[in-house]
Structure 1
């Protein structure tokens, strides 16, 4: 079962390198599973596939196939046509409901939005995100005069405190949030 040329991604080419070392006996199954982040059972399955079909066994089996649940090209073209003509003033949700009711096209509002975004048709019904007010950084009434100056006086700025936060991926691929308090003393004398 030859498919012709096989082009591998970076991940798959790394698998090829490790599998070649495994078949040569340089690397053990346990080491290969650690390097590739797979279980030993999966490494053995890949090794058997490489022995049987060559490196083409490492390429994903669905490569080059369209997903079964993909929206057909004709439906995409109809949606774009409706957005420009028949339903030009409708929102994504209303458009999907109208197409379902009148045209027999059953697609979600999200799908309509994605298709129209791909076709570079702007959404007329977007909402600007509201600006949120953070009361922690609000200036008191008596400090407004001093806060409005370009450079505050020596008395008002002794210490700057900020929080530095960062995200770190842990071993089980969940994000762990950590924060550290940084304090800087400023002396203008």
Structure 2
């Protein structure tokens, strides 16, 4: 810069050597003349940016990440938890830089990228719902519980979550209940080939059997979906329904921490929490569908969801309205507003936790009560006359009489024996 001032370099030569524009070199020359070499140092050198994190806040964030509550949270989830529970707002890039410099790694492992064909999302919300269940240690107690869930293929929205001890029919029915009541009736469900959805006998049908018209009875879940008009599409691999499989990976990373922060340790508490958590999750991860028109069908006011999502078995009533069910008897309770059941009528017995046990006949619902059938008294056979035999009394000598007579004892003294002998042998005879 001094050579420029002295005239040893031209303006163009200085700009080319410094890699600056001519205007910038003119400004630097003017400042150098007025203020000296200090003008060449940037004014922000050794100055902390105004928007930089404070040392106390940075230390607090690092301490929270290393605590037991947030230790297992990945960086993105930790950013959300800081905003929701700690009132700390920080960008993901700043948080990632801060934690990385502190040598803290995200617990979410990154696997090697594998190229694969992505199936395009459905165009409308409600056209396809992917449904599945996953066992996991949600409470960190070492016990695994099955989380049943469903996700919309077009938007990625969670439309139902329900936790049970094991993967079961009730869990899927509760998820379906949430879908129908909160969104409507979807067009189809994409599931695996579990026996809850597809009968195990159905896979054994040959082409000849199908051409011959042989039909396999639906499972209870399949029967319920037929009544709702929902098509079940069984997948042949987990990759086919990859959207719900990726949902489990996300929830297994997030929900245990959410349960820990909320103090949740039971299934009932978890199911109550999940109803509030679903909107938060959808707000974070859901996308807009290509077609904004929803494909969910409106639920009819005449539809009683409790009579659909239940076990239905066929039985016959007798002349008194009594039927047998699992080795127990029940009596159908008739009301003036309900038609009378004829003898031998074929009824549908409905069983579910929501309605207990009820009877359906010609679309009418009847309550039932336990019934104990009277037990018939078995006829007593006439007693045959028994022969009477004479038995001696207890005082008879040959039976017990010998016990009544004093036995001779040789423990008597010699004096007594001699007196007895004198009375016998030395007595006077007439």
Give every structure 1 segment of 4 or more consecutive aligned residues whose post-TM-superposition deviation is greater than 3 Å: none
Task: Give the corresponding residue for 1:27.
Answer: 9
Task: Give the corresponding residue for 2:64.
Answer: 82
Pairing 1:1-189 to 2, within 5 Å after superposition: 19-85=1-67, 86-130=69-113
Rounded Cα–Cα distance in structure 2 between residues aligned with 1:111 and 1:62: 20
Q: Which has the higher helix share?
A: 1
Rounded Cα–Cα distance in structure 2 between residues aligned with 1:115 and 1:34: 39
Return the offset for 1:43.
1.0
Task: Give the corresponding residue for 1:3.
Answer: none
Rounded Cα–Cα distance in structure 1 between residues aligned with 2:14 and 2:83: 52
What SS does structure 2 have at the residue aligned with 1:130?
A: coil
Task: Mark the runs of 5 or more structure 1 residues left unpaired by the alignment.
Answer: 1-18, 134-189
Return the offset for 1:131.
5.7
Task: Give the corresponding residue for 2:119.
Answer: none
What SS does structure 2 have at the residue aligned with 1:60?
A: coil
Task: Check whether the contact 1:92–1:112 (CA below 8 A) recurs between aligned residues.
Answer: yes
Return the offset for 1:126.
2.8
Deviations for 1:52-79, whole angstroms, at most 9, x for unmatched residues? 1111111111111101111111121111
Under a length normalisation based on structure 1, what TM-score does the superposition of the two structures give? 0.57
| Higher RCO (CA < 8 A, seq sep 6+) | 2
Return the offset for 1:97.
0.7
Rounded Cα–Cα distance in structure 2 between residues aligned with 1:114 and 1:126: 18
Rounded Cα–Cα distance in structure 2 between residues aligned with 1:37 and 1:112: 35
Deviations for 1:27-61, whole angstroms, at most 9, x for unmatched residues? 11121112112222111110010001111111111
Return the offset for 1:132.
6.4
What SS does structure 2 have at the residue aligned with 1:87?
A: coil
Under a length normalisation based on structure 2, what TM-score does the superposition of the two structures give? 0.26
What SS does structure 2 have at the residue aligned with 1:89?
A: coil
Task: Check whether the contact 2:79–2:90 (CA below 8 A) recurs between aligned residues.
Answer: yes
Task: Give the corresponding residue for 2:327.
Answer: none
Return the offset for 1:103.
0.8
Return the offset for 1:108.
2.2
Task: Check whether the contact 2:73–2:106 (CA below 8 A) recurs between aligned residues.
Answer: no
CA RMSD of aligned residues (A): 1.7
What SS does structure 1 have at the residue aligned with 2:36?
A: helix
Distance verdict in 2 for CA 1:53–1:79, change over 3 Å: same
Rounded Cα–Cα distance in structure 2 between residues aligned with 1:99 and 1:75: 12
Deviations for 1:99-132, whole angstroms, at most 9, x for unmatched residues? 1011110012332222111111122113022266
Rounded Cα–Cα distance in structure 1 between residues aligned with 2:105 and 2:21: 46
Deviations for 1:157-186, whole angstroms, at most 9, x for unmatched residues? xxxxxxxxxxxxxxxxxxxxxxxxxxxxxx
Task: Check whether the contact 1:92–1:110 (CA below 8 A) recurs between aligned residues.
Answer: no
Rounded Cα–Cα distance in structure 2 between residues aligned with 1:108 and 1:92: 11
Flag the structure with larger Rg: 2
Rounded Cα–Cα distance in structure 2 between residues aligned with 1:27 and 1:68: 39
Rounded Cα–Cα distance in structure 2 between residues aligned with 1:23 and 1:120: 49
Task: Check whether the contact 1:87–1:95 (CA below 8 A) recurs between aligned residues.
Answer: yes
